């Protein structure tokens, strides 16, 4: 029989994978992997501010991620630097400021490894409720905004012409990213969140005949990576968070094998496909 903590880890990890699947597809389609990295790195600044001001960790990480997103939108409108340069500055700056703040708080003892690489085996029943509840909220919002997000990914001007309000959809998408990162931090850690978003989505792309199919397959592959990574961690005595990402990587490599996937008949052009 599996221990209770391992069962909780499985339930929490699968719940997170179901959420990151569709969200990760949008990240891949929009080529926003570096944006995800930037928001993930900003989570450490949220951790530091949470400890300094003694406020709720989830609230602090979410607030910082939202702040970074809004700052990025503001700086992009000024067009002083390219988007990747701005992302690089914000990513490394927030991570460095967070580390410096933690170093200054000598009265606080903090396990940086747990924040950087996660500790899914330490999740509680309350964490599971938060993950599944937050995931349900994120998926509901994505379902409501799906058409607008897909249309604006293909063509921003076309989405505007159809009255789909792509700017509003983009802002809500960023808020959902911030929420997922705040929730996922405890499971896979700051350094590995983006991998869980991107790798399952990239693996699902080859087998998908439509955007909706890719979103579902991405969730399934993410869930398989969680289960495989946790059992690999159990039997190999390896860190759980990195083990999940390694399992996702194995599935991605398997998807690249010539025998793994064939071109699907009637396959639609997916958002972000190169001409």
Q: Which domains does the chain have, with CATH numbers?
A: 4-256 (1.10.3470.10)
Whether residue 269 is predicted with pLDDT greater than 90 in this model: the reply is no
Q: Name the band, by pLDDT with cuts 50, 70 and 90, for residue 194.
A: confident
What span, in angstroms and rounded, lies between the C-alpha atoms of 237 and 235? 6
Task: Answer yes or no: are the C-beta atoms of 153 and 30 closer than 8 Å.
Answer: yes
> What's the mean pLDDT when you consider all of the chain?
84
Task: Quote the pLDDT of residue 265.
Answer: 44
What is the three-class DSSP state of 208? coil
- Quick one: pLDDT at residue 227? 95
- Establish how many alpha carbons lie within 13 A of residue 134's alpha carbon, considering only the half-sphere containing its beta carbon: 24
Q: How far apart are CA 121 and CA 231, in angstroms?
A: 12
Give the residue with greater pLDDT, 81 vs 131. Answer: 131
Helix (H, G, I), strand (E, B) or coil at 165: coil
DSSP 155: -
pLDDT tens for 114-152 read: 777 888 888 889 989 999 999 999 999 999 988 888 888
Mean per-residue pLDDT, 247-251: 95
pLDDT band at 253 (very low <50, low <70, confident <90, very high): very high
Instruction: Read off the pLDDT of each residue in 107-111 and give the average, rounded to a whole number.
Output: 75
**pTM summary value:** 0.86
């Amino acid at each position: 029989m599996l221990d209770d903590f391992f069962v909780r880890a499985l339930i929490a990890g699968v719940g997170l994978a179901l959420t990151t699947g569709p969200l990760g597809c949008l990240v891949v389609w929009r080529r926003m992997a570096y944006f995800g990295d930037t928001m993930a790195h900003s989570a450490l600044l949220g951790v530091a501010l949470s400890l300094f001001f003694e406020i709720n960790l989830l609230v602090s990480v979410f607030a910082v991620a939202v702040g970074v997103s809004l700052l990025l939108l503001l700086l992009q409108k000024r067009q002083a630097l390219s988007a990747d340069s701005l992302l690089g500055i914000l990513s490394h700056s927030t991570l460095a400021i967070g580390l410096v703040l933690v170093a200054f708080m000598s009265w606080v003892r903090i396990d940086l490894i747990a924040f950087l690489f996660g500790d899914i085996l330490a999740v509680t029943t309350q964490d599971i409720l938060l993950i599944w509840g937050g995931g349900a909220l994120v998926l509901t919002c994505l379902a409501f905004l799906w058409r607008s997000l897909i249309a604006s990914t293909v063509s921003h001007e076309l989405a505007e012409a159809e009255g789909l309000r792509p700017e509003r959809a983009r802002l809500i998408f960023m808020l959902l990213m911030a929420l997922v990162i705040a929730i996922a931090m405890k499971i896979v850690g700051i350094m590995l969140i983006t991998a869980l978003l991107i790798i399952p989505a990239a693996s699902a792309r080859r087998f998908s005949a439509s955007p909706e199919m890719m979103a579902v397959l991405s969730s399934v592959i993410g869930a398989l990576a969680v289960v495989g990574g946790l059992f690999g961690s159990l039997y190999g005595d390896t860190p759980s968070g990195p083990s999940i990402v390694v399992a996702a990587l194995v599935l991605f490599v398997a998807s690249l094998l010539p025998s793994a996937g064939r071109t699907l008949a009637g396959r639609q052009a997916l958002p972000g496909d190169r001409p």
